[in-house]
Amino acid sequence: MKRWDLTLLVILILEICIFAYANPKFLMPRVIFGSINDIIPICIISLFVTMVMITAGIDIQAGAVVGLSSIIVGVTWQDLGLNIWVASLVAIIIAALVGLLTGYIVAYYQVQPMVVTLGGSFLYAGLALLISTLSSTESYKGISGFPESFVNFASYRIGGVLPVQVVVFLVMTAIAWFLLHKTKYGRKIFLIGINQNAAEYSGINTRFIIMSTYVLSGIAAAVSGILLTSYLGTAKSDLGATITLPIITAVVLGGTLMTGGKGSIIGTALAAVIIGVLKFGLPLCFRVNMQYLDIPVGLLLLIVISARALSNRPEVIVFISNLKKKNRS
Amino acid sequence: MSESQFLLEARDVFKSFGLNQVLKGITLTLKSSEVVALIGGNGAGKSTLMKILMGIYKPDQGEFKINGQNLENLNPKKSMKAGIYMVPQEPMIFPHMTVLDNILIGFSGKKADLEKKLEHFYRQINCKIDLNRLGMTLSIAEQQMVELLRGLMRESKILILDEPTSSLTFDEVQTLFEIVRDLKKKGIGIIYITHRLSEVFELADSICIMADGKITLRGETSKFTREMLVQALLPPSFTPASKTRTELETKIRNAMPILQLKNFSGYGFKDISFNVLEGEIVGIAGVVGAGRTELANTIFGKEVPLGGNVILDGEDITGRSTADVIRMGINYVPEDRRCNGLFGISPVCANITSALLASKITGNIALNTSEEIRISEKYIKDFRIKVTSPYQEAGSLSGGNQQKVVIARSLSTMPKLVILDEPTRGIDAGARGDVYKIIRELSQTGVAVIVISSDTEEIIELADRAIVFCRGRVSAVLEKDDINQQNITSASFGIYKEEANA
Amino acid sequence: MLKQIINRYESKAFAFLILMFALVSVVNSDFLTGESVVNCFNDSVVFTLLAVGSAFVILTGEIDVSVGSVLGISAAVAATILRDGGSLFTAVTMAICVGAFFGLVNGIGVAVLKIPSLIFTLGTYGVARGMVYVYTGGAWVENLPAWFTSASHSYLCGYLTWYYALVLVFVIFVQFLLSHTKKGHNFIAVGDNYQGAELVGINPTQTKIYAYVISGVFASVAGLLFTSRIGFITPMSGNSYEMKAIAACVLGGISLSGGLGTLIGAAIGAVIMTSITRILVFLGLSSNYDNTITGIILIVIVVVNTIIQNREIVKSRREISLKRIAQKAFIDNQEGSR
């Protein structure tokens, strides 16, 4: 996996160089960090969806959970009168419960994760909308007027430069990396993804571990939802409605095997940043219309995975090794 | 000569996957009404050769003739049209289709005509499967029957049977043999792939032994003895491990029972009672489906028990979870290595320590990698596992080395009792000797061992005591000199006692 | 025979639909008019096509999340042609070509390059959606000819629109082809057992490519009907429809692991999906409940179904084990009597 991480790093550096060359303004911290909020949920959530996908699962409801946690923060604060930080904690707990339910169904009833989270993406988006109608504010407007401390949180810049979201992302990456690659828990996740039967014969509680990955991805979605709410100063039920597919893109681009058992947090983090930089650099440096951005992201995904699929073919491996031989002689 | 004497000729077949050369110039011929037994260890290239004949893989080089006519650019459709049909080891059944659809899929023509033809073949091989059953409800023997019917419906002249008896019961094997002999009479040529030498002498007209991508021995069956075949199958450097049975008497007199089963019942077995002593190797013999694997799975917490007790070292562990059972001191090497044993795309070290993840040895929260490597390297050295490093992917090892990795995993938890289910199935003779050595050494350190095996020779070779299962019950307990081919076989089919009485 | 029909999943799905209608009628008898019931079917016409197209792909064991975007791009292409005075023939041909093209690309990616289908169609999803923006310049396509938009209100008889009647007949016809032709069987065989299909001489690569092309073409025809019914196209038209199409398939009893299900089931699933909105109105609930109820129904049905299925598998496995022991007793008796 290490080689793929390096490839991604090279792609990222190339990408930044090209953008910087096209428009030097691109490298100014104020600019580069300016649009961080558009990509931060993708970056954070994809880290933990990586774990879900390594167990050979999938989570396509994370986007809906982002909206759900955002509106829960708003409603519990405005209509229930909770302290804003307590409200955030409530949102995280509810998101964890949502993950628990999903994980329970997937792990203990062996329902296909794609179907459960597909249903979940309807259910939690719908619940978010319903909760927003409970509020005294009309739902399309969103709930705003949060306390200064909350609104300032996401706009706070450490040393006046580094946005707090970037720090959150880095911390989350470190946590996810440690969990997945350095702990026994992470080892179990990999083993389950490779061969769940064999993991059970090794005495691993596979169901519990699988369930827990969905809880983690739920919590990550809630954290993103709270960060977004804080940055926008508005709680809305449809935040995150469009991020499901970019999340999966980032995880896959990061080198995670759809069939489970293989993947890397560093890879996912790099891939998420590559997608983020692309989405932000193209409009800035090449005046690409924001609305067209699905095309380059889609193409990037198609080209990278096609190239990877091709390079794994035996005939291509033989071809490459022949080339190497020729070069030597 | 215009008419070729051969039904099928494959000459100088070469095939590589990437950089790995699998077939190194194979020549195979088959006459009509001939049964050729193709024997060889895993990785010898038998399946690859058959898949090339079926047109699933493209050969790098090779010439194929059927009835003297050249065949080029084979694909599954062409092969079948030319009259080749393969009944794979694990039959390819469509689980959600009816038996009728399963057989008739891929045929063109009027359904009524096809059904009529099918009825004819149904009678011919005396098949009684209801055509409206769904594929998923069929037993393996019935699935093979469906596959055979597919081949017959195509009027295939060449049938390939890939280890057809590996998961059949005794009666089913006999039925299959009948069918094979019947087909032979009708002029069909059969390539019969197998691991079992007794079947070879019963069925085959000629024998081909494959090893390492080449054919090492070929000729008419009558020219060979069992010993000659065994010799040809062994790798050149192999010397058979001398049988060193330890002093059984003293061992058992001083030993404590590690495992006690008292009227233990579960799904697939009933009223099982026996003890396993410290340092004893107990062989459990019987045919596939006699309830042996079910017993092991139930002890191991993978299936619920229906009654009785399992007592390990004085403690009742009936119905405990797998993790508990491992912690209390039992470990199990499952029968199906690929499905239940190995983490294919994981490094060897992660495989070996996977059962240790529950204990503190591998760390509290963080993974103790240096300890992991130490443990792995110890087993790699002790078991002579051929790896380039502990980080090599387990799936890239040969079958024998994979099996050693799975055994190492089970032993890493320092169990008091190890259950090995078909420990040498599908591995070559060299690795088999190593596995036997590991098992004996283990028992000498006082670990109780249960070996479940359908291979009678294996039971005779290893067991201090043999318990024979028949249809979910113990049909005989054999000791010392009573452990022989005849007793085990008769007990496996439930006729041992009567013989003893006679 | 009757038992077989009752046990079929699509029969259950249909029963569920009837039950749903019955429950609503109990709460609000106004629902029980021909108009509202038939309109539930009329409304589902776009999703029926999308779901049936997706069903082909799902039956082969793959998935297609690009259908919503393909619907969008083909609708945009056709709408632009019609707005600019092009003929219906050109519009339809172009739309279908666009759909077939994306289907072909998906098919090649999934079947030939062997890339996991969710990922590959995710890529084409993005590209196709972006192309809708490029093609329309981000603006709405409006002012379509009146004859085109009013066609969606022409009725065959009573309240039944021509569109639904045609689509229904078409789906039944295609279902007939699927279950009674050799080529049709191939789709199910490939999803049921890939290697098995290969061994009986089916070309799975070709079959999967066909499935994706069919899915693309169905999506583009759905796009045409969508345009006709709505009367305009926005760059977001058809967005997230793919999820609803997949949900409709699941509701209609198609297994996401392939090989199990029928197109009729998918069509019924589509009606269930779309009638929820209409039913809410009669229940006096706001349309805000739409997604929640869809989600709950989807999860509950699938969970219950999976639990029943798994129980049956375990039960049959255990029965076989017990039978083996029983046989032993039988043999003992025989030998005893001998």
- CATH code where residue B162 lies: 3.40.50.300
State the residue range of the domain holding B151: 8-233
Strand order in the sheet with B417-421: B330-333, B417-421, B448-452, B281-285, B465-470, B473-479
**Structure confidence by residue, pLDDT tens digits, A147-194:** 888 888 888 888 777 888 889 999 999 999 999 999 999 999 999 999
Instruction: Tell me the residue ranges of DSSP E strands in B100-186.
Output: 158-162
Both B260 and B176 in one domain: the answer is: no
Pairing verdict, β B206-211 and B8-17: unpaired
Q: Is A298 among the domain residues?
A: no
Angle CA C29–C30–C32, to nearest 5: 70
Q: Do C259 and B95 touch (CB under 8 A)?
A: yes
Helices (H) and strands (E) in chain C, counts: 15, 2
A322 in a structural domain = no
Is the predicted pLDDT of residue A65 greater than 60, yes or no? yes
Residues of C within 8 A of B80 (CB-CB) are 200-201
Last residue of a domain, one of B233, B264, B297: B233
| ipTM reported for the complex, 2 dp | 0.85
| CA–CA distances in Å: residue A285 to residues A2, B247, B446, C77 | 31, 84, 73, 30
Chains that contact C by 3+ CB pairs under 8 Å? A, B
pLDDT tens-digit profile of B90-127?
Answer: 778 888 888 888 888 877 778 888 888 888 888 877 77
Chain A, nearest residue to B393 by Cα? A194
Q: B297 and B200 in one domain?
A: no
What pLDDT tens digit does each residue of chain B (502 aa) get?
A: 345 578 888 889 998 876 667 888 888 889 888 999 988 765 678 888 888 888 888 888 888 888 888 888 888 888 888 888 888 877 788 888 888 888 888 777 788 888 888 888 888 777 778 888 888 878 777 888 888 888 888 888 899 988 787 666 667 778 888 888 888 888 889 999 886 777 888 889 999 888 778 888 888 888 888 777 777 766 554 444 444 444 444 555 566 788 999 999 998 898 999 999 988 999 998 876 778 889 999 999 999 999 999 999 888 999 899 999 999 999 999 988 888 889 988 999 999 999 988 888 888 888 888 999 999 999 999 888 888 889 998 988 888 889 999 999 999 999 999 999 989 877 777 788 889 999 999 988 889 999 998 877 888 888 989 999 888 889 889 887 788 877 887 787 776 654 444 3
B385 domain residue, yes or no: no
Q: Is residue A282 situated within a structural domain?
A: yes
Distances (CA, A) of A110 to A96, A103, A104, A107, A271: 20, 10, 9, 5, 30
Residues B434 and B491 in one domain: yes
**Cβ pair B105, C185 in contact under 8 A:** yes
Q: What angle do CA C293, C295, C299 make, to 5 degrees?
A: 120
Whether C143 shows a pLDDT value over 50: the answer reads: yes
B388 falls within a domain: no
Check B18 against A317: CB less than 8 A apart: yes
CA separation for the pair C58, B29 (Å, rounded): 43
Q: Using CB atoms, which residue from B137, B291, B494 is nearest to C324?
A: B291
Reading the block at residue A122, the tokens are: 């309807």
Is residue A159 a part of any domain in this protein?
yes
For residue B238, being part of any structural domain is answered with no
Q: What share of chain C is helix, strand, coil (3-state, %, to 5)?
A: 80, 0, 20
With a CB cutoff of 8 Å and minimum separation 6, the contacts of B295 are: B264, B266, B268, B269, B272, B284, B469
C111 DSSP 8-state letter: I
Q: Does C337 touch chain B (CB under 8 A)?
A: no
Q: Is residue A301 part of a domain?
A: no
Per-residue pLDDT tens over the stretch C279-334? 888 888 888 888 898 899 889 988 988 888 888 888 877 877 776 676 544 444 44
For B178, the token pair is: 């009948």
Residue B162 β-bridge partners: B193
CATH number of C2-285: 1.10.3470
Q: What is the pLDDT of residue C327?
A: 54
Per mean pLDDT, which range of A98-107, B9-18, C230-239, C263-272 is the poorest?
Answer: B9-18
Distance from CA of B170 to the nearest CA of A (A): 29
Mean pLDDT of A292-298: 83
Distances (CA, A) of A121 to A41, A132, A240, B417, C267: 16, 17, 11, 48, 22
Q: Give C32's pLDDT tier (boundaries 50, 70, 90).
A: confident
Q: Report the CATH number that the domain containing residue A108 is assigned in CATH.
A: 1.10.3470
Closest alpha carbon to A241 in A129, A105, A155: A129
Beta bridge partners of A8: none
Q: At what angle do helices A113-134 and C241-251 cross, to 10 degrees?
A: 120
DSSP character at residue B110: -
Transcribe A266-295 into DSSP letters. Answer: HHHHHHHHHHHHHHHHHHHHH---GGGTHH
Judge if B207 and B260 occupy the same domain.
no
Question: Are both B95 and B193 inside the same structural domain?
Answer: yes
Task: Say if CB A219 and CB A206 are below 8 A apart.
Answer: no
- Are B48 and B73 part of one and the same domain? yes
Output phi, psi for A213, to 5 deg. Answer: -65, -35
Tell me, yes or no, whether B139 and B284 share the same domain: no
Q: Is residue B389 part of a domain?
A: no
Q: Do C198 and B56 touch (CB under 8 A)?
A: yes
Domain interval for residue A259:
2-292
Q: Which chain A residues are within 8 Å of C290, Cβ to Cβ?
A: 126
pLDDT tens digits, residue range A6-36? Answer: 989 999 999 989 988 888 888 887 777 777 7
Query: From B349, which residue of chain A is nearest by alpha-carbon distance?
Result: A187
Domain boundary among the residues B233, B268, B283 is at B233
B101/C185 CB distance under 8 A: yes
Give me the pLDDT at residue B375, please.
Answer: 92
Tell which of B203, B233, B263 closes a domain.
B233
How many separate domains does chain A show?
Answer: 1
Residue among C138, C292, C299 minimizing CB distance to A127:
C292
What global pTM score does this model have? Answer: 0.84
Q: Give yes or no: residues B221 and B335 share one domain.
A: no
- The domain tally of chain B equals 2
Q: Are residues B140 and B194 in the same domain?
A: yes
Tell the residue number behind the tokens 């219950």, with chain if given: C304
pLDDT at C142 over 50: yes
